[in-house]
Structure formats: structure tokens, C-alpha cells
């Protein structure tokens, strides 16, 4: 007999608990970097510290085949589409990558591209109202991006800028729509779990019949 699927309130409580513990780990790691290297380095590497904290959290739980602290709190476990077996190592790895690493990579790629497209091609400085480059200087990827965007015509720059804006806003809207879909159907709370087919079941003992 297959175990009962986790209820939507259990899934939400588990996600909230995981977010709480991830936030605590991020805060502790950021505080350590701030104390050791100063405020400037903390500002420069804040996103990377958050990524490493998330990867460490999910690496020690989901990737290692254990429950997260949130899942343990509400007594649910992750299962593959069969709802009988725990997800394979590959499936768990893809889940962590999609959930924690991919958002970071998209942000690191799309935000600098938007900044370069907003920049004045003659001066190389961002236009008023746009964010300036990070304090780490111009990386190789940033130089490559700046070199190629400088060759675009004004019309191409505007078209690409609109495409980047639509993509960033579209991803945010997709995430919100997916959460709304969860509240209607109560299956996949995170988009990464829908893409990997991972759901949750109750770890409590089944009722006797």
C-alpha cells in the first residue's frame, strides 16, 4: 500500500521551516565573512555566500538522502514519481541544482547583461537609474559581455533589453503562478520539484485496517 501523500499544509510548513533554517545559515555565514573580511568584501560576495549556504544546507540533507529540517519537522519524506522509492542521487542532484544553483546563475547572467545594455556605449558607464557593476571589478565574463554588447546597434540594444526584461519578469510571474497552482491542486510547491517529479509523502505510520 502506497503511503499517503503529504497534505498541502504539511508541505507549506516544511518549506517555511527550511526557509527559516536557510536564512539562519546564510546570516551566520555572512556574519562570519563580514567579521573576517569587512563590509566591502561581504557586499561583493554576499550572493555567493548565500549560494554556498543553500548548497551546504541541501547538500547535507536532500543530496545526501536525508530529510531536510523542515521535512523532519512535519514528518514527510521526498519520493520519486512512483511514490514508493526515494529519489535517485541523480534526481536529487538535479533538484538541488534547479532549486538553488540555477536562480543564482540566471541572476548573475541577466542582471549584468541588463546593466551593459543600459550603459552608454560611448562612455561605458551605466545610465542614471541603473545599477553599477559590482565592486569586484570587471570579470572575464563581464568584459566579454561588454565587448559584444558594444557592437550592437541602438535598435538591437533596445530589442535585447526588452527581451531580458521580459525574461526576468516572466520567470518571476511563472514562480508566482506555480505557487498559485499549488494552492489549487496541492502537489508541487516548488517548480524544481515539478520538473524533477519529486513529491512528498507522510512518514507517519499508516492507519491499521
- The answer to whether residue 8 sits within a structural domain is yes
Yes or no: say if 124 and 146 are a contact pair by the CB < 8 Å rule: yes
Structural domain containing residue 70? 4-113+198-202
How much is the pTM?
A: 0.80
- The answer to whether residue 182 sits within a structural domain is no
- The answer to whether residue 129 sits within a structural domain is no
pLDDT confidence of residue 37: 92
Yes or no: say if 100 and 25 are a contact pair by the CB < 8 Å rule: no
pLDDT confidence of residue 32: 94
- The answer to whether residue 159 sits within a structural domain is no
pLDDT confidence of residue 155: 86
pLDDT confidence of residue 132: 44
pLDDT confidence of residue 126: 47
Count of domains observed in the chain: 1
Share of the chain residues as helix, strand and coil, in percent rounded to the nearest 5? 65, 5, 30
Q: Using CA of residue 58, residue 61, residue 62, residue 67, what is the dihedral sign?
A: negative
Q: How far is residue 31's CA from residue 35's CA, in Å, rounded to a whole number?
A: 6
For the chain, which ranges sit under pLDDT 50? 126-135, 137, 206-209
86 SS3 class: coil
Q: How far is residue 136's CA from residue 112's CA, in Å, rounded to a whole number?
A: 13
Question: Is 10 exposed, middle or buried, given 0-12, 13-18 or 19+ CB atoms closer than 10 A?
Answer: buried
| Sequence-ordered list of residues with C-beta below 8 angstroms from that of 132, at least 6 positions apart, any chain | 115, 126
Q: Is 28 left (phi over 0), alpha (psi -120 to 50) or beta?
A: alpha
pLDDT confidence of residue 33: 93
- The answer to whether residue 78 sits within a structural domain is yes
- The answer to whether residue 128 sits within a structural domain is no
- The answer to whether residue 162 sits within a structural domain is no
Amino acid at each position: 500500500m502506497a503511503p499517503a501523500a503529504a497534505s498541502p499544509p504539511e508541505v507549506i510548513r516544511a518549506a517555511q521551516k527550511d526557509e527559516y533554517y536557510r536564512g539562519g545559515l546564510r546570516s551566520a555565514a555572512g556574519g562570519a565573512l563580514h567579521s573576517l573580511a569587512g563590509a566591502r568584501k561581504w557586499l561583493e560576495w554576499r550572493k555567493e555566500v548565500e549560494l554556498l549556504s543553500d548548497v551546504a544546507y541541501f547538500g547535507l540533507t536532500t543530496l545526501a538522502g536525508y530529510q531536510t529540517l523542515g521535512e523532519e519537522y512535519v514528518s514527510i519524506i521526498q519520493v520519486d514519481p512512483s511514490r514508493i522509492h526515494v529519489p535517485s542521487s541523480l534526481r536529487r542532484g538535479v533538484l538541488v541544482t534547479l532549486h538553488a544553483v540555477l536562480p543564482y546563475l540566471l541572476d548573475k547572467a541577466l542582471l549584468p547583461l541588463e546593466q551593459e545594455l543600459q550603459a552608454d556605449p560611448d562612455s561605458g558607464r551605466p545610465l542614471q537609474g541603473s545599477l553599477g557593476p559590482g565592486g569586484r571589478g570587471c570579470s572575464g565574463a563581464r568584459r566579454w559581455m561588454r565587448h559584444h554588447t558594444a557592437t550592437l546597434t541602438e535598435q538591437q540594444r533596445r530589442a535585447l533589453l526588452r527581451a531580458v526584461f521580459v525574461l526576468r519578469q516572466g520567470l518571476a510571474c511563472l514562480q508566482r503562478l506555480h505557487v498559485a497552482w499549488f494552492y489549487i491542486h496541492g502537489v508541487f510547491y516548488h517548480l524544481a520539484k515539478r520538473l524533477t517529479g519529486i513529491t512528498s509523502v507522510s512518514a507517519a505510520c499508516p492507519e491499521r485496517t
